Structure 1
Amino acid sequence: MSPIQDFYSQQTIFLTGASGFLGKLIIEKILRTCPDIQKFYILLRPKHDRALEQRFNDIFSNSCFEPLKAENKDFAKKIHILSGDCSQPMLGMSPEAQAIVKREVTCVIHAAANVRFDVDLKTAVFTNVRSVRDLMDMMKEMENLRAFVYVSTAFSHCHRDKIDEVFYDVDVKPEKLLQIMEVMDDRTLEVVTPHLLGEWPNTYVYTKAVAEELIRSYKQVLPVAIVRPAVVISTCDDPLPGWINNFQGVVGVVVGVCLGVLRTLHLNKNLPARVVPADYVVNNILAAAWNVEQTKNKE
């Protein structure tokens, strides 16, 4: 076993964003390469037209799980569903579900987010910032927590000319921003949103930057790491070459060109494409959790 596989042995993992593109690949990678994990809790949002069990089955109907199914037909036995919604206080989790997480979980991966660029600021703040605060408050009561990995974006501070692996300041304190969202009506908020965003071009990258600032305030008391992937595209090799389940962003553009629907594009050929294969990102996320403990042990 590699050091990273050894790290995940007998761990109990809690993952948000399990139904998303990266979430599916994180589940697949851990279950296929780290079979000695203890349990795997995934947070799923109830939908009026689909029960949680149906949503669970939908996840594993994707072709990316075929290699895992071929190796281990009983892989799902270690997976447990927790009902929740990251747009709600305390991630929409019941007191019983919170108690399970506090008592059993040793590793947390927060990959859930509202990734729309045009969503209103209140929705983006509640989903992308409040969920982080509430989850970290929950983690302070996890006696066995070994690592927390937050999946951010390389563009959280996109207005800067250069991005290093450091924390950057934002113009507002996260708690102050949350208070504003709680008390301000939607019409007033729509008017002041451009002033709050400042140099940030949309609510997505802005709330990601604020969430990073929130994590900085906890880094002295919790074992945390932030992963900032660029634009995530289809897998390179693992578990299947070229696997993707959406046509968002640059993937949709490429498909449009290949089909002949898009004949012209307005591009600057001198600028590099900030894209990264999804399996590279998943490997980075899993390695980051391992590195958190390694770094902590050296201090």
Structure 2
Amino acid sequence: METVEPVVPLDVELPPQLLLGSGKASLDEFERYRSPLKDFYHGKIVFLTGGTGFLGKLYVEKLIRCGVSEILLLSRAKKGKTPYERLASILESEPIFTTYHSNPEHYHDKIKIIDGDISKNQLSISNDDLSYVVNNANIFFHAAADVRFDESLKESVETNVRGTLEVLKIAAQAKWLDVFVYISTAFSNCTRNTIEEKFYKPQVDPHLLIKLVEMEQDEESFEVLSRKIIEPWPNTYAFTKALAEDLVRQFADKVPVAVIRPSIGE
């Protein structure tokens, strides 16, 4: 089996002043630091889902520091705030954006809001926004997910499974696509004693489950049945992430894909 060398040697450390959260790094200082990984992202246009979440905010900061041309951030109105108001609030209040207050224009120039909802068909984005994404995006980072362990199977499927399918469909249309990156979880295959860095096919067809959810009228009866459907997974989150990984596998002959399985973040 061919060994793939990491893009950046694992034993290479960033200078302390360039570490995120150190409070000492500026964008100018980081721009002077060179690495193959940073060079890969430089000048690229990235479509990002989940950019307002725990990991997503880190991706926004890292991508901006790597010199991307633009971040196309999928976001929806929530709690009485428009997507633009939510973004402004996050940039102003989150400590991860260490240089925002000294150079806010740099962030606003780099981020373009794509008004949409990951749980809706076709992401509920406008035709104009869809055309812009398809004709410009080089990289897809799909990090959006319903991470609640006690969420209903219906809600989890709509967001984590069907949402992933909708993003994959758009990525398959992208004219300048370099890679589709799916942010999964280390627990997507927690039913196995040994988990390798490969795809595992679940016992449930994700397409059939999506259709079942869309057709189901009696939600109470469906939720009773869902306990049997997800076995032996411990919760709907891990189960639906496993199904989403299988969708990514199915699209691997259409788009270049990668799956990241991070552990629990706190």
TM-score between the two structures when normalised by the length of structure 2: 0.83
Deviations 1:156-186 (A, max 9, x none): 1111111110111211111111111111220
- Mapped partners of 1:73, 1:132: distance in 2: 32
- Paired residue secondary structure (2:265): strand
The residue number in structure 2 matching 1:215 is 248
Does the 8 Å contact 2:161/2:206 carry over to 1? yes
Map 1:152-171 → 2, pairs under 5 A: 152-171=184-203
The residue number in structure 2 matching 1:192 is 225
Match of 2:154 among 112, 122, 129: 122
Match of 2:77 among 35, 43, 46: 46
Q: Structure 1 residue 121: deviation in Å? A: 0.4
Deviations 1:236-260 (A, max 9, x none): xxxxxxxxxxxxxxxxxxxxxxxxx
- Mapped partners of 1:69, 1:143: distance in 2: 35
The residue number in structure 1 matching 2:170 is 138
For the pair 1:60 / 2:84, whether they are aligned, the reply is: no
Deviations 1:91-140 (A, max 9, x none): 22122211111011000100100000111001000000101111111111
- Paired residue secondary structure (1:125): helix
**Aligned partner letter, 1:202:** N
Q: Structure 1 residue 151: deviation in Å? A: 0.4
**Aligned partner letter, 1:175:** H
Does the 8 Å contact 2:75/2:115 carry over to 1? yes
The residue number in structure 2 matching 1:83 is 115
- Mapped partners of 1:75, 1:183: distance in 2: 42
**Aligned partner letter, 1:49:** G
Deviations 1:51-107 (A, max 9, x none): 222101111021211245447752321111111111111122122211111011000
Unaligned residue ranges in structure 1 (runs of 5+): 234-299
Match of 2:238 among 192, 205, 208: 205
Map 1:15-54 → 2, pairs under 5 A: 15-32=48-65, 34-35=66-67, 37-47=68-78, 49-54=80-85
- Mapped partners of 1:73, 1:49: distance in 2: 25
Does the 8 Å contact 1:69/1:75 carry over to 2? no
**Aligned partner letter, 2:90:** I
Q: Structure 1 residue 24: deviation in Å? A: 0.8
Q: Structure 1 residue 47: deviation in Å? A: 2.2
- Mapped partners of 1:45, 1:71: distance in 2: 25
**Aligned partner letter, 1:43:** L
Deviations 1:272-294 (A, max 9, x none): xxxxxxxxxxxxxxxxxxxxxxx
TM-score between the two structures when normalised by the length of structure 1: 0.74
- Paired residue secondary structure (1:65): coil
- Paired residue secondary structure (2:60): helix
Match of 2:263 among 207, 220, 230: 230
Deviations 1:24-51 (A, max 9, x none): 111111112x12x221110111125112
Does the 8 Å contact 1:31/1:68 carry over to 2? no
1:29–1:68 Cα change, 3 Å: farther
Q: Structure 1 residue 4: deviation in Å? A: 1.0
- Paired residue secondary structure (2:202): coil
Q: Structure 1 residue 143: deviation in Å? A: 1.0
- Mapped partners of 1:75, 1:195: distance in 2: 46
- Mapped partners of 2:79, 2:59: distance in 1: 26
Q: Structure 1 residue 194: deviation in Å? A: 1.2
Pairs aligned (count)? 231
**Aligned partner letter, 1:135:** V
